Chain A
């Protein structure tokens, strides 16, 4: 299978006082024709990675290739082959929805007739035809994001980059966007997206890289990542009793892999098979247990295991 995007040991430091290390040696390969997710908390380096792939951020060191072209050398040709929808709504506010699509086609060299035809096609396909004369500020978040994706696709790119495409969208708009992304993949487009929604990475993406502090912690299909993490659940408990005694009581229990103190309680990483949770409850019964939350094996528990933090912390 051919590779759509290849990053090799990419570093990016933003100058300033203090300088900020955004990427600390990222290497990854995105197979062509897949939906690939960069998953991580805000500030992990996802947007910087996308910025480098889309010619808007220059890597401090390392190499980046998109569609077999080298970033920093073939930027103009790279721009021809990629579509980009940024996290913020960057629609041209002085132009209508239809004009945003039409002029995008013109920027990519289409003549008037072709640009008009393509605009009609996109307005229909992305179901925004009834809003063609609306200005971007009159659109809801979901429609604006859909318009942005339509615009990013207008010049028929091979690779589509979506930066946090569903951030701030209501659940319905989010599902609609997922369908849209799957449809594009079915047409043979490679889609690279960033998200901080575990569920989005799990359900939408065929491959995922979990990113934190400018590094890739783990990479693979969501299934393989969860499997390699060994089917661990995370149990958060809150109680009023003596924390260190409680920690000692559960640490040696069979099925408990890790115990970390949290504010007001403990976080346990436990085997998801078997009956570990009831035993934990029993062991903590003398410690005024007030709350218990079990997170089933998911990308979220993988992230917690790898970093000791929730993704939204």
Chain B
């Protein structure tokens, strides 16, 4: 018999190979759903509005609105990928079709399948971020001030943000039934996007203290702020250690809840 760690690794590569095959077949829809939101956001807010003379007031020290938007939109792309690449398929596979069953019956601990999903979802989140970056960097009519002060910081923030997004996807995928997907977009995704410090830095909420503290429950806040720290450090941002610790905490929490939810759904 194979030695267990080796065989778990082989199974995990098998699970990823399957997800990668599906991703390759679906790359065009994946790309389109990833870039549509940032493309239109950037087009309207950093091209149409400035060109038509309607300048948005920008938070103090934030330079241009396009600079504020860049990390936020990369973070939003990651969250949407976590939902569309992890939560939606999982919700269906765990639902009526029970398609997940064959993977659950693989000779690995029950935690392996959801953890492999999160890892692959994080990889897809990185791809989504990479697809969005050139759009939010190059398309705006106004200047975008990107300055990577520390590459290790960027790598860390990307890893934490994509992990958080994928684990949110796992959690939602195990908690939401297919029939409630529409509701999930309305009640979860829309609020976390608009209240996720995507269109404004967290510091600028100082004017509305209840909101500034209220949004701290939103994982997207730390993703946006974390990427702001790494990509546009000249815009006001959270202290790095707070963003790092909160992302690590929320990703761990969501992964744990998601894995538990997964096991509850597959074992009676």
B-chain residues with CB within 8 Å of residue A282 when the two chains form the complex: none
- Residues 152-190 of A contacting B (Cβ, < 8 Å): none
Q: Cβ of B99 and Cβ of A92 under 8 Å apart?
A: yes
Q: Cβ of A106 and Cβ of B105 under 8 Å apart?
A: no
Asked if A304 is at the interface of the complex by the 8 Å CB criterion, the answer is: no
CB proximity of A289 to chain B, nearest CB, Å: 48
Instruction: Tell me whether A56 and B102 are in contact in the complex, defined as CB-CB below 8 angstroms, given that A103-B14, A103-B18 are known contacts.
Output: no
CB proximity of B142 to chain A, nearest CB, Å: 42
Interface code B1-38, partner A: CB below 8 Å = 1, 0 otherwise?
Answer: 11010010011011101100110010000000000000
Q: Cβ of B98 and Cβ of A86 under 8 Å apart?
A: yes
- Residues 102-124 of A contacting B (Cβ, < 8 Å): 103-111
- Minimum CB distance partner of A82 in chain B: B105
Instruction: Tell me whether A107 and B15 are in contact in the complex, defined as CB-CB below 8 angstroms, given that A51-B268, A94-B22 are known contacts.
Output: yes
Asked if A55 is at the interface of the complex by the 8 Å CB criterion, the answer is: yes
Q: Cβ of A107 and Cβ of B2 under 8 Å apart?
A: no
Q: Cβ of A107 and Cβ of B99 under 8 Å apart?
A: no
CA distance A106 to B97 in the complex (A): 21
CA distance A86 to B2 in the complex (A): 27
B-chain residues with CB within 8 Å of residue A106 when the two chains form the complex: 10-11, 13-15, 17-18
Q: List 22 A-B contacts (CB under 8 A).
A: A48-B268, A56-B101, A56-B267, A58-B268, A76-B107, A79-B105, A80-B1, A84-B101, A88-B98, A89-B97, A90-B97, A92-B102, A95-B18, A95-B21, A95-B22, A103-B14, A103-B21, A106-B15, A107-B14, A107-B18, A107-B102, A109-B7
CA distance A55 to B104 in the complex (A): 9
- Minimum CB distance partner of B7 in chain A: A109
Asked if B240 is at the interface of the complex by the 8 Å CB criterion, the answer is: no
CA distance A93 to B2 in the complex (A): 30
CA distance A104 to B1 in the complex (A): 18
B-chain residues with CB within 8 Å of residue A82 when the two chains form the complex: 105
Asked if A99 is at the interface of the complex by the 8 Å CB criterion, the answer is: yes
Asked if B59 is at the interface of the complex by the 8 Å CB criterion, the answer is: no
Instruction: Tell me whether A57 and B15 are in contact in the complex, defined as CB-CB below 8 angstroms, given that A90-B101, A90-B102, A109-B10 are known contacts.
Output: no
Instruction: Tell me whether A91 and B99 are in contact in the complex, defined as CB-CB below 8 angstroms, given that A14-B268, A58-B267, A109-B11 are known contacts.
Output: yes
Asked if A145 is at the interface of the complex by the 8 Å CB criterion, the answer is: no
Q: Which of B4, B7, B14, B103 has the most CB of A within 10 A?
A: B14
Asked if A151 is at the interface of the complex by the 8 Å CB criterion, the answer is: yes
Q: Which of B2, B18, B21, B107 has the most CB of A within 10 A?
A: B107
Asked if A195 is at the interface of the complex by the 8 Å CB criterion, the answer is: no
Report the interface size class on chain B: 20 to 34
CB proximity of B90 to chain A, nearest CB, Å: 12
Q: Cβ of A86 and Cβ of B18 under 8 Å apart?
A: no
CA distance A38 to B103 in the complex (A): 26
CB proximity of A311 to chain B, nearest CB, Å: 24
Besides A57-B268, A88-B97, 17 more A-B contacts (Cβ < 8 Å) are A56-B101, A56-B266, A56-B268, A75-B110, A76-B4, A76-B109, A77-B107, A86-B98, A90-B99, A90-B102, A105-B14, A106-B13, A106-B18, A107-B18, A107-B106, A109-B10, A109-B11
B-chain residues with CB within 8 Å of residue A93 when the two chains form the complex: 97, 99
A-chain residues with CB within 8 Å of residue B7 when the two chains form the complex: 109
CB proximity of A224 to chain B, nearest CB, Å: 33
- Residues 135-192 of B contacting A (Cβ, < 8 Å): none
Asked if B108 is at the interface of the complex by the 8 Å CB criterion, the answer is: yes
Q: Cβ of A76 and Cβ of B89 under 8 Å apart?
A: no
CA distance A103 to B10 in the complex (A): 11
Q: Which of A56, A88, A92, A109 has the most CB of B within 10 A?
A: A109
Q: Cβ of A108 and Cβ of B104 under 8 Å apart?
A: no
- Residues 21-80 of B contacting A (Cβ, < 8 Å): 21-22, 25
Interface code B256-268, partner A: CB below 8 Å = 1, 0 otherwise?
Answer: 0000000000111
CA distance A151 to B7 in the complex (A): 19
- Minimum CB distance partner of A76 in chain B: B107
CA distance A93 to B22 in the complex (A): 10
A-chain residues with CB within 8 Å of residue B266 when the two chains form the complex: 56
- Minimum CB distance partner of A12 in chain B: B268
Q: Cβ of B99 and Cβ of A103 under 8 Å apart?
A: no
Identify B102's interface contact among A51, A76, A80, A104, CB under 8 A: A104
Asked if A34 is at the interface of the complex by the 8 Å CB criterion, the answer is: no
